[in-house]
Amino acid sequence: KQQRWNDFSLFGPPSKKFTVSTNPLELDVQPLPTNSGGKVSPVVGNWDIRSSINSTNIKQDEAVTLKVIISGTGNIQAVDITDISFPYELEVFEPEIQVKDNPLRDKIGGEKQFEWVLIPRFAGDIYIPKVEFIYFNPRTEKWMPQYTSKYHLNVAPNEKASVSTLGLSKEEVALMGEDIRFLDESKPKWRDRNRRLFSGTALTLLFLSGVVFVFPNSLSATREKLDRSSGNRQARRALKSALKILDSSGKSPEDIYTHIYKAVVSFINHKIGSRK
């Protein structure tokens, strides 16, 4: 397909489209030869295998991690070594598998890592056997077996009770194996459940503090209430005295004005509490 200008370009001729195709390829797929050793696998290419373990001197019920890495060229998806027969003294969890493809485009392959969490349930000497990996090398036209190292675990007895790992994931088991080393063996400080939360002295001090806090506010409110009630009583007495003076007023204007003046003066004196 060739396109030099856009179909709608105003500055050049319209584009032209060409369709090209390759010649058909014919593949001659040959079957894998038989192995004189009797073991075969679907893995073809050129591969290397290596392994590692984080510790060989451990305690009973303490988790260890076994890693096996296979790297090389070929169909890395066909690489599988999960059918390892571990000793019965070990509790084995499902492996975690990680695949890294080869960054080089001209070669197919990469690296595949298998990681197991193992927990020895018995003390003593435990041997992890070699892991066998067989592949066919097309260059040499031979079956190539490779092996990992054999590991010897020296498992010391664990005086603590065995911890059940049923239902735990691989990461939780690994963390639990690390936490076993840091168990606190010191004597706990127990507290009596029947003991009261507050002692008698504490309750007395709490009551006195409340009294000291509430008493000034209560005294101030009482004083304000008494002052208001005293003022109301004085106002009622002043009004009663003024009305009494007005009722006894005479008929002449001078007497009326005199009684009104006396009523006002009497009301004011009783209102302000004066005895004049």
Tens-level pLDDT at each residue, the chain (276 residues): 444 545 555 556 667 788 888 899 898 888 888 887 778 888 999 999 999 999 999 999 999 999 999 999 988 888 998 888 999 999 999 999 999 887 666 678 889 999 999 999 999 999 999 999 999 999 998 999 999 999 999 999 987 655 555 555 556 655 665 555 455 666 777 766 666 666 667 778 777 777 677 666 666 776 666 566 655 666 666 666 656 665 665 556 666 666 666 666 666 665 565 555
Sequence-ordered list of residues with C-beta below 8 angstroms from that of 175, at least 6 positions apart, any chain: none
Single out the residue of 61, 78, 62 nearest to residue 70, CA to CA. Answer: 78
Domains in the chain, CATH or no CATH each: 45-180 (2.60.40), 202-272 (no CATH)
Contacts of 263-267 with CB under 8 Å at 24 or more apart are 266/238, 266/241, 266/242, 267/238, 267/239, 267/241, 267/242
**Cβ 32 vs Cβ 45: under 8 Å:** no
Q: Is the dihedral of CA 159, 164, 170, 173 positive or negative?
A: negative
The model's pTM is: 0.52
Cα torsion through 237, 238, 244, 245, rounded to 10 = 150
Would you state the pLDDT for residue 93?
Answer: 92
Would you state the pLDDT for residue 252?
Answer: 64
Residue 162: Cβ within 10 Å count: 10
Gyration radius of the chain over CA positions: 51
Burial of 96 (0-12, 13-18, 19+ CB in 10 A): middle
Would you state the pLDDT for residue 98?
Answer: 92
Please give the Cα distance from 82 to 92 (Å, whole number). Answer: 11
Token pair listed for 211:
């009294």
